[in-house]
């Protein structure tokens, strides 16, 4: 007969324990779960992504309602347990339910610690722990403008970033002189603060809150030094408090948390505790990795497996705030017993510190490049003897591939994805049993890398290590088309080195199998030639796709659309009259405002397209081309009460500066007047968010069938700097992109950090801008020539009359 297993709490640690129990013995227990939130089990780590607008609440469920049903789990949601009766072995709820148990697991988690100051009960003062908190913050951001986050730790910074992305002005109040002082040393914390300030985040350091004031709703905060700050929202991120009241009233031994032994057993044998509410060897944990380890250890014990139990955890931290890459594990500060290996590249913004004691790694602090984090942390946990390692490259073994060795040495139960608690063994088993071949397949199957994605390199390493010679990396060399085994980079290098002047010469000299080329290489070579020799090479329009040859998009019935340029969606009365006259003259069946805020003429007959352009006399909007299509912008400070800068003016200027120049694929840009992001710039190829202190720049976004959010780049102070960076970015894409490759996969292939290094190198930036301007001049000259020919034709027609 099945034993009755009841769990109070429906959070990450407890449900992980249930998953492990079901994996080991599905028939051991009749399971009941009681949760006080009205949701199935969800990933609290991803709440910051929900707040930042990267994902939605429905997408952060770990186990949906059907999972409980499929596993015969009785689930009570929105129900609060009010009493545990150890004598009768039953629990009672606020809705009158009485549930008996044989074994009870307390997984009540923790609550946000709210500072006990006057005014903490006011409306607008909240923690950041639940879906309800997150929804409240999102709703507040839609109605109010100014927020204060108290606490400069991991959670506080993620909350601040999310509120900024929602359009709020945010100040972070921190008691200590440096951010994340539990995870970062002073140099790394200083770099973090500088990068976050560049994103527009403001800080009030070494401030102690003494009062929150307001009538019914919060209006501001006062500090012990007599200063104050006004705000509409206060988010408390100063720590958590384990929920131990139920256990305490039931007579269980408690301290800061519910005291448990190595088997997660409380002072009452049939009652266990797991997660943030549990205290093991005097320590309570607030990070997900140790809580999953606790859940796994408890599952092994309850199902009768031979186990040493939970032995405690060494903590590591990664920050998921946009543009900031950090990793911390173990000790962070030197002492008399440790030596430090420090690499500090100020130019690249990279800081790496490894603390060593008795020839073993005891601490890791990485900022700017955390790619070594998993490898070094594995060495720390395994107490690897580092005598065979060289410190010159941050403990990479001389003459060997340290990453491959690290993956080979990882045990099956070692956690690879901390966000979702996925072990190496789970990944290897899925690869072998499900015949997985790529990172995306592993992510879908196991959830490894599905949250912050920082474990992708290790997951791909496990793929390579597991499949061996059968592993087919996506970066494997392939020819640019069926006519040649040469890659895009090799072809372009040969064009430059041999001074090849035409696509035909390229195909002959480089021995393409098809002398006439194919539909893939003809337009590609035409693009590469014009990119390499912008002043010497004459564009071969016959090699272009039909849309570009016709200066219009072909429609489903063989007709074309004609979309003239309207900078920033603006136009004039004369242009509108001309558009109307042309539409009537050529019987255009549809005149429509496009998604890019322009007037499009749809259904133009093929033979009429050249005449339509002639009669309009307007510059093309390039709605068909592989170049900048448009720059979407809001009205910004010209009219909007939230606008911080003239986004409309900057958008028009950006469009004029970048237009016409061919790129490997179409490009779209955007400028938002404030972080509310009305122009949706975070899914554009290049995006600008206007903030009080300048302009936040982003790149590599895509809003198509596969959405990719932009990578955060840098905050600049002037419009001129925006234009310079946009030109350099576009030119670098032109020179290194594969024809028909959007910027999103290009960024993934080249590497976001590599692109940043190039663009932030003053000399290389200037060279890219110079080459872009040189190319732009040739396109302007071609347009001027077209205009001149149109005027000559117009004069000839007048003389004829």
Total tally of structural domains belonging to the chain = 5
Both 517 and 445 in one domain: the answer is no
Is 678 flagged in the annotation as binding?
Answer: yes
- pLDDT beyond 60 at 475: no
Residue 81 is assigned to a structural domain of this protein: yes
- pLDDT beyond 50 at 477: no
Residue 623 is assigned to a structural domain of this protein: no
Distances (CA, A) of 225 to 146, 204, 209, 361, 726: 22, 12, 9, 42, 44
Is 690 flagged in the annotation as binding?
Answer: no
* Terminal alpha carbon distance of the chain: 103
Q: Residue 221 region, left (φ>0) first, then alpha (ψ -120 to 50), else beta?
A: beta
Both 671 and 798 in one domain: the answer is yes
Both 650 and 780 in one domain: the answer is yes
Mean pLDDT of 316-339: 80
- pLDDT beyond 80 at 789: no
Question: Residue 454: which pLDDT band, with cuts at 50, 70 and 90?
Answer: low
Both 74 and 155 in one domain: the answer is no
Stronger pLDDT, 416 or 634, i.e. the higher one = 634
Looking at residue 558, its pLDDT comes to 78
* 102 and 94 Cβ atoms separated by less than 8 Å: no
Question: What is the 8-class DSSP label of residue 111?
Answer: E
Residue 592 is assigned to a structural domain of this protein: no
CA nearest neighbour of 130 among 104, 109, 114: 109
- pLDDT beyond 50 at 5: yes
* 276 and 242 Cβ atoms separated by less than 8 Å: yes
- pLDDT tens figures, 96-128: 999 999 999 999 999 999 999 999 999 999 999
Mean pLDDT of 457-461: 79
Both 76 and 93 in one domain: the answer is yes
* 73 and 66 Cβ atoms separated by less than 8 Å: no
- pLDDT beyond 50 at 476: no
Q: How many CB atoms lie within 10 A of CB 241?
A: 16
* 664 and 735 Cβ atoms separated by less than 8 Å: no
Both 697 and 746 in one domain: the answer is yes
Is 521 flagged in the annotation as binding?
Answer: no
* 739 and 548 Cβ atoms separated by less than 8 Å: no
Sheet holding 98-100, edge to edge: 81-85, 90-93, 98-100
CA distance 325 to 368: 5
Mean pLDDT of 247-274: 96
Which residue's entry shows tokens 């590249």? 345
Mean pLDDT of 464-484: 67
Looking at residue 395, its pLDDT comes to 52
SS3 state of residue 670: strand
Looking at residue 319, its pLDDT comes to 67
**Contacting residues for 628 by C-beta, under 8 A, at least 6 apart:** 622, 655, 658, 659, 660, 661, 663, 667, 668, 669, 730
CA distance 197 to 204: 12
- pLDDT beyond 60 at 572: yes
pTM of the model: 0.61
Q: 337: which 2 tokens?
A: 């017993």
Mean pLDDT of 778-791: 69
- pLDDT tens figures, 6-23: 999 999 999 999 999 999
* pLDDT, the chain, mean: 87
Give the end of a domain, one of 544, 559, 588: 544
Is 277 flagged in the annotation as binding?
Answer: no
Looking at residue 598, its pLDDT comes to 86
CA distance 316 to 9: 25
Residue 404 is assigned to a structural domain of this protein: no
Both 225 and 254 in one domain: the answer is no
Beta strands in 11-63 (DSSP E): 29-34
Give the end of a domain, one of 448, 475, 502: 475
Q: What is the DSSP string of 112-170?
A: EPPP-SBTTTSBTEE-SSSHHHHHHHHHHHHH--EEEEE--SHHHHHHHHHHHHTT-EE
Question: Residue 336: which pLDDT band, with cuts at 50, 70 and 90?
Answer: confident
Question: Residue 400: which pLDDT band, with cuts at 50, 70 and 90?
Answer: very low
- pLDDT beyond 60 at 397: no
Both 37 and 161 in one domain: the answer is no
Both 640 and 780 in one domain: the answer is yes
- pLDDT beyond 80 at 239: yes
418: domain CATH number is 1.10.10.1100
Stronger pLDDT, 703 or 687, i.e. the higher one = 687
Question: Residue 398: which pLDDT band, with cuts at 50, 70 and 90?
Answer: very low
CA distance 46 to 131: 10
193: domain CATH number is 3.50.50.60
- pLDDT beyond 90 at 686: yes
Range of 105-109, 472-476, 555-559 with top mean pLDDT: 105-109
- The phi, psi pair for 390, rounded to 5°, reads -100, 140
CA distance 105 to 87: 16
- pLDDT tens figures, 141-178: 989 999 999 999 989 999 998 898 888 999 999 999 99
Q: In this predicted structure, which of 102-106, 316-320, 661-665, 764-768 has the lowest mean pLDDT?
A: 316-320
Question: Residue 321: which pLDDT band, with cuts at 50, 70 and 90?
Answer: low
Residue 369 is assigned to a structural domain of this protein: no
- What percentage of the chain has pLDDT greater than the value 70? 93
779: domain CATH number is 3.30.413.10
Q: 601: which 2 tokens?
A: 């003429």
Residue 568 is assigned to a structural domain of this protein: no
Residue 333 is assigned to a structural domain of this protein: no
Both 697 and 748 in one domain: the answer is yes
What is the Cα gyration radius of the chain? 31
- The phi, psi pair for 285, rounded to 5°, reads -115, 145
Range of 357-361, 519-523, 596-600 with top mean pLDDT: 357-361
Q: 472: which 2 tokens?
A: 């087919």
Task: Determine the structural domain holding residue 532 and report its residue range.
Answer: 488-544
Both 41 and 183 in one domain: the answer is no
Looking at residue 800, its pLDDT comes to 45
Stronger pLDDT, 645 or 401, i.e. the higher one = 645
Give the end of a domain, one of 497, 526, 544: 544
* Partners of 229 in the β-ladder: 221
Looking at residue 642, its pLDDT comes to 87
Looking at residue 59, its pLDDT comes to 82
CA nearest neighbour of 278 among 262, 300, 301: 262
Question: What is the 8-class DSSP label of residue 509?
Answer: H
Q: How many CB atoms lie within 10 A of CB 498?
A: 12
Stronger pLDDT, 708 or 440, i.e. the higher one = 708
Residue 549 is assigned to a structural domain of this protein: no
Both 674 and 800 in one domain: the answer is yes
């Amino acid at each position: 007969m099945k034993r009755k297993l009841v769990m109070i709490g429906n959070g990450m640690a407890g449900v992980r324990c249930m998953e492990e129990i079901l994996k080991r013995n599905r028939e051991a227990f009749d399971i009941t779960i009681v949760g006080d939130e009205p949701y199935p089990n969800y990933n609290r780590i991803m709440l910051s992504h929900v707040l930042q607008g990267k994902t939605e609440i429905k997408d952060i469920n770990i186990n949906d309602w059907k999972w409980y049903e499929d596993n015969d789990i009785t689930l009570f949601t929105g129900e609060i347990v009010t009493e545990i009766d150890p004598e009768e072995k039953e629990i009672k709820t606020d809705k009158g339910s009485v549930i008996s148990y044989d074994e009870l697991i307390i997984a009540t988690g923790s609550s946000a610690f709210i500072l006990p100051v006057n005014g903490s009960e006011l409306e607008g003062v909240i923690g950041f722990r639940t879906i309800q908190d997150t929804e409240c913050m999102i709703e507040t951001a839609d109605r109010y403008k100014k927020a204060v986050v108290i606490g400069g730790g991991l959670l506080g910074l993620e909350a601040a970033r999310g509120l900024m992305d929602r359009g709020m002005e945010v100040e972070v109040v921190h008691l200590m002189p440096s951010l994340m002082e539990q995870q970062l040393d002073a140099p790394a914390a200083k770099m973090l603060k500088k990068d976050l300030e560049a994103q527009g985040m403001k800080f009030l350091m070494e401030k102690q809150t003494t009062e929150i004031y307001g009538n019914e709703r919060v209006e501001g905060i006062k500090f012990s030094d007599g200063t104050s700050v006004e705000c509409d929202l206060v988010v408390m991120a100063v720590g958590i408090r384990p929920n131990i009241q139920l256990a305490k009233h039931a007579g269980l031994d408690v301290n800061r948390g519910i005291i448990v032994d190595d088997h997660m057993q409380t002072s009452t044998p049939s009652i266990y505790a797991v997660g943030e509410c549990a205290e093991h060897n005097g320590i309570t944990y607030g990070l997900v990795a140790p809580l999953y380890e606790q859940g796994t250890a408890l599952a092994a014990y309850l199902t009768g497996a031979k186990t040493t139990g939970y032995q405690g955890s060494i903590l590591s931290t990664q920050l998921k705030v946009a543009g900031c890459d950090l990793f911390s594990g173990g000790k962070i500060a030197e002492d008399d017993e440790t030596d430090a290996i420090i690499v500090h590249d100020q130019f690249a913004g990279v800081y790496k510190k490894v603390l060593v004691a008795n020839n073993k790694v005891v601490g890791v602090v990485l900022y700017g490049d955390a790619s070594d984090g998993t490898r070094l942390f594995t060495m720390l946990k395994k107490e690897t003897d580092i005598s065979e390692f060289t410190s010159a490259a941050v403990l990479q073994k001389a003459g060997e591939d340290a990453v491959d060795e690290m993956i080979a040495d990882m045990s099956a139960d070692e956690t690879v994805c901390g966000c979702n608690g996925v072990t190496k063994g789970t990944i290897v088993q899925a690869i072998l049993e499900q015949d997985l071949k790529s990172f995306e397949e592993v992510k879908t199957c196991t959830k490894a890398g599905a949250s912050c994605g920082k474990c992708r390199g290790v997951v791909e390493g496990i793929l390579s290590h597991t499949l061996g010679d059968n592993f087919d990396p996506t970066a494997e060399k392939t020819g640019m088309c069926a006519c040649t085994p040469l890659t895009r980079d090799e072809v372009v290098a040969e064009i430059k080195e041999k001074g090849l002047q035409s696509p035909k010469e390229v195909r002959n000299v480089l021995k393409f199998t098809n002398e006439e080329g194919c539909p893939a290489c003809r337009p590609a070579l035409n693009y590469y030639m014009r990119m390499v020799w912008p002043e010497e090479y004459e564009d071969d329009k016959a090699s272009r796709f039909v849309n570009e040859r016709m200066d219009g998009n072909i429609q489903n019935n063989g007709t074309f659309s004609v979309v003239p340029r309207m900078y920033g969606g603006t136009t004039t009365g004369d242009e509108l009259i001309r558009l109307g006259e042309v539409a009537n003259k050529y019987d255009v069946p549809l005149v429509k405002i496009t998604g890019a805020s322009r007037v499009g003429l749809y259904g133009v007959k093929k033979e009429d397209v050249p005449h339509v352009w002639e009669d309009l006399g307007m510059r093309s909007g390039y709605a068909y081309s592989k170049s900048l299509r448009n720059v979407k912008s809001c009205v910004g400070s010209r009219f909007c009460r939230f606008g911080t800068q003239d986004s409309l003016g900057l958008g028009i200027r950006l469009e004029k500066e970048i237009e016409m120049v061919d790129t490997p694929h179409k490009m779209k840009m955007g400028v938002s007047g404030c972080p509310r992001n009305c122009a949706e710039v975070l899914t554009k190829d290049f995006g600008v968010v206007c903030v009080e202190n300048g302009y936040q720049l982003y790149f590599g976004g895509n809003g198509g069938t596969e959405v990719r959010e932009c990578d955060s780049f840098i905050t600049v102070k002037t419009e001129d700097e925006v234009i310079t960076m946009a030109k350099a970015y576009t030119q670098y894409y032109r020179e290194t992109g594969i024809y028909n490759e959007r910027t999103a996969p290009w960024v993934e292939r080249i590497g976001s950090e590599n692109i940043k290094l190039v663009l932030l190198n003053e000399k290389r930036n200037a060279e890219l801008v110079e080459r872009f301007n040189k190319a732009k001049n040739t396109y302007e000259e071609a347009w001027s020539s077209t205009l001149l020919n149109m005027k000559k034709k117009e004069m000839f027609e007048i003389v004829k009359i």
